[in-house]
């Protein structure tokens, strides 16, 4: 039986303090073989809020769980109405300096890979390659009955046709692409079925309360084994899906460095937590290494079925 998801974490008083010294991060990247693990905090400078930081979405919003989504049509109506509106904001979001710096480090051959907990695709838009999307991507949709994948843009078109004039004003947007709407604003929003079998469509993302596919987890564990060090960017590491890789690296004696403004659940496993805004921190590191950080990448890539 799956438990309800872990949505919060209270920092222990004995956690090591943060630092503003970027040199440990620069040293690790200069040595190469760095595996990046990114969270919602890297996308806040692109206008997408995080879950748990100051003003994070969990202060006003409880994310959809897999159990709620599959329990009945009313929950799915609420989700798709809110997600359909939120998708427009995600589609306009552009990579920020943090995403571009990670892509620049990759082009220099300094990275062993990128694992992201985010579902916004901004690492790829910035130019990073072979990104492992730990929690999936909002760019894709999957049918829970036949397993067929389809592009989110196709579903967006169908939802527009099924709900002409649907354009409420949302109170906010959340890291999972869910816009804040009241039940009155959701109204009688129409959900469309799978075009192949008529089954239930779900975004190809790992909801709270759902398990990351085992093959994806093992792929990430292999990346940790092959890496020289682990660099965590903008994640509180509250949920085990990301924390397990920090623990794995630390147990293997690999240096763990964290760049996050607030304390994280992985701080006790890290050599240091750099408490500096991500964009400034990563561009500062890039400057020290003589690596230029360019503009946005060529554009949002086309969706493709993932490997689990």
- The residues spanned by each domain of the chain are 23-288
Q: Residue 180's pLDDT band (boundaries 50, 70, 90)?
A: confident
| Residue 291 assigned ligand-binding role | no
Q: Find, among 194, 85, 95, the residue nearest to 145 by Cα.
A: 194
| Residue 290 assigned ligand-binding role | no
| Residue 46 assigned ligand-binding role | yes
Q: Of 39-48, 68-77, 84-93, 236-245, where does mean pLDDT reach its minimum?
A: 84-93
| Residue 164 assigned ligand-binding role | no
Q: 132 near 115, Cβ under 8 Å? A: yes
Domain topology for 23-288: Rossmann fold (3.40.50)
pLDDT value at residue 92: 82
| Residue 210 assigned ligand-binding role | no
pLDDT at residue 50 above 80? no
Q: 152 near 203, Cβ under 8 Å? A: yes
| Residue 146 assigned ligand-binding role | yes
Rounded CA gap, 236 and 19, in Å? 16
Q: 235 near 51, Cβ under 8 Å? A: no
Rounded CA gap, 126 and 297, in Å? 4
pLDDT value at residue 295: 59
The answer to whether residue 84 is catalytic is no
| Residue 220 assigned ligand-binding role | no
| Residue 55 assigned ligand-binding role | yes
Looking at every residue in the chain, the average pLDDT score rounds to 88
Exactly one of 61, 99, 135, 269 is catalytic; which is it? 135
Question: b or e along 205-223 (b: 16 or more beta carbons within 10 Å of the residue's beta carbon)?
Answer: bbbbbbebeeebbebbeeb
The predicted-structure confidence for 253-282, as pLDDT tens digits, reads as follows 999 999 999 999 999 999 999 999 999 999
pLDDT more than 70, % of the chain = 87
Query: What stretch of H or E contains 243?
Result: helix 240-251
pLDDT value at residue 88: 79
Rounded CA gap, 190 and 247, in Å? 44
pLDDT at residue 116 above 70? yes
């Amino acid at each position: 039986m799956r438990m309800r998801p872990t949505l919060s974490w209270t920092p222990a008083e004995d956690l090591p303090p943060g630092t503003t010294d970027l040199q440990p991060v620069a040293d690790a990247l200069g040595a190469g073989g760095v595996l990046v693990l990114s969270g919602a905090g890297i996308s806040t400078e692109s206008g997408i809020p995080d879950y748990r930081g100051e003003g994070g979405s969990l202060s006003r919003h409880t994310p959809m769980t897999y159990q709620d989504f599959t329990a009945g049509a009313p929950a799915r109506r609420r989700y798709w109405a809110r997600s359909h509106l939120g998708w427009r904001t995600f589609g306009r979001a552009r990579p920020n300096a943090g995403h571009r710096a990670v892509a620049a480090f990759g082009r220099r051959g300094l990275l062993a890979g990128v694992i992201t907990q985010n579902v916004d695709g901004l690492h790829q838009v910035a130019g990073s390659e072979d990104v492992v999307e730990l929690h999936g991507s909002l760019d894709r949709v999957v049918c829970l009955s036949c397993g067929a994948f389809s592009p989110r843009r196709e579903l967006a078109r169908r939802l527009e046709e099924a709900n002409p004039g649907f354009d409420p004003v949302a109170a906010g947007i959340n890291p999972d692409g869910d816009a804040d709407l009241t039940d009155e604003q959701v109204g009688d929003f129409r959900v469309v079925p799978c075009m192949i079998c008529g089954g239930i469509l779900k975004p190809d993302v790992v909801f709270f309360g759902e398990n990351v596919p085992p093959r994806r987890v093992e792929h990430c564990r292999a990346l940790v084994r092959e890496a020289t060090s682990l660099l965590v960017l903008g994640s509180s590491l509250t949920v085990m899906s990301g924390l397990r890789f920090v623990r794995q690296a630390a147990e293997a004696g690999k240096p763990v460095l964290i760049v996050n403004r607030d304390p994280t659940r992985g701080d006790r496993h890290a050599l240091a937590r750099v408490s500096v805004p991500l964009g400034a921190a990563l561009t500062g590191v890039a400057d020290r290494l003589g690596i230029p950080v360019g503009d946005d990448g060529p554009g949002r890539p086309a969706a493709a079925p993932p490997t689990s």
